[in-house]
């Protein structure tokens, strides 16, 4: 029984360390809507497998003009989920040229339900739930940054 307790305590401590030690590079991007509006976001970049796996897990808050951009390196079908994610999120699935091809709105915290890209994408931008609708962001709108739109 003591060994099981130590094992569980070690796993719990490992999770706490993972929550605290994951760092992400920062950048900025803009979303240009078909209606002519441009919205700027300060983002963190999830570039490695470890960063993409961790994402926004365990975060308790995020400013309205912030988000996380997952860069998959090449276009491919992508599946996301919300396990260990406290914040409700909108997920913008983005093609290599910056076109938003699908939006998964109001992803439910802690859910293991798969949120599918509905086709190949190179990027996913996670923002606070409800922001896409509030800002009038729709499929077909463009995301622009140093990373997006480059061959």
Distance between terminal CA atoms of the chain? 56
Instruction: Report yes or no on 12 lying in a domain.
Output: no
What are the two backbone dihedrals, phi and then psi, of residue 15, each rounded to the nearest 5 degrees?
Answer: -65, -40
Pairing of strands 38-46, 66-80: parallel
Ranges of residues in the chain whose predicted pLDDT is under 50: 1-19, 151
pLDDT digits (tens, 9 = 90+) for 31-67: 999 999 999 999 999 999 999 999 999 999 999 999 9
Q: What is the largest CA-CA distance in the chain?
A: 63
Instruction: Report yes or no on 13 lying in a domain.
Output: no
Number of domains forming the structure of the chain? 1
pLDDT reported for residue 11? 44
pLDDT reported for residue 150? 54
| pTM over the 0.75 mark | yes
Instruction: Report yes or no on 15 lying in a domain.
Output: no
Alpha-carbon gap, residue 26 to 114, rounded angstroms:
27
Q: Is 100 in a helix, a strand, or coil?
A: strand
pLDDT reported for residue 21? 67
Instruction: Report yes or no on 151 lying in a domain.
Output: no
Instruction: Report yes or no on 10 lying in a domain.
Output: no
Q: Which domain holds residue 97?
A: 24-144
């Amino acid at each position: 029984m003591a060994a099981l307790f130590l094992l569980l305590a070690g796993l719990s401590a490992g999770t706490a360390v993972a929550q605290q030690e994951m760092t992400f590079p920062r950048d900025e991007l803009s979303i240009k809507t078909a209606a002519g509006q441009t919205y700027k976001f300060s983002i963190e970049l999830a570039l490695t497998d470890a960063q993409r796996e961790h994402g926004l897990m365990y975060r308790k808050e995020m400013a309205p003009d912030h988000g996380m951009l997952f860069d998959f390196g090449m276009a491919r079908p992508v599946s996301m989920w919300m396990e260990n994610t406290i914040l409700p999120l909108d997920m913008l699935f983005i093609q290599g040229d910056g076109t938003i091809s699908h939006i998964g709105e109001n992803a439910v915290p802690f859910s293991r339900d798969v949120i599918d890209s509905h086709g190949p994408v190179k990027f996913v931008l996670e923002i606070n739930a409800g922001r896409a609708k509030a800002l009038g962001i729709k499929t077909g709108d463009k995301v622009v940054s140093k990373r997006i739109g480059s061959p």
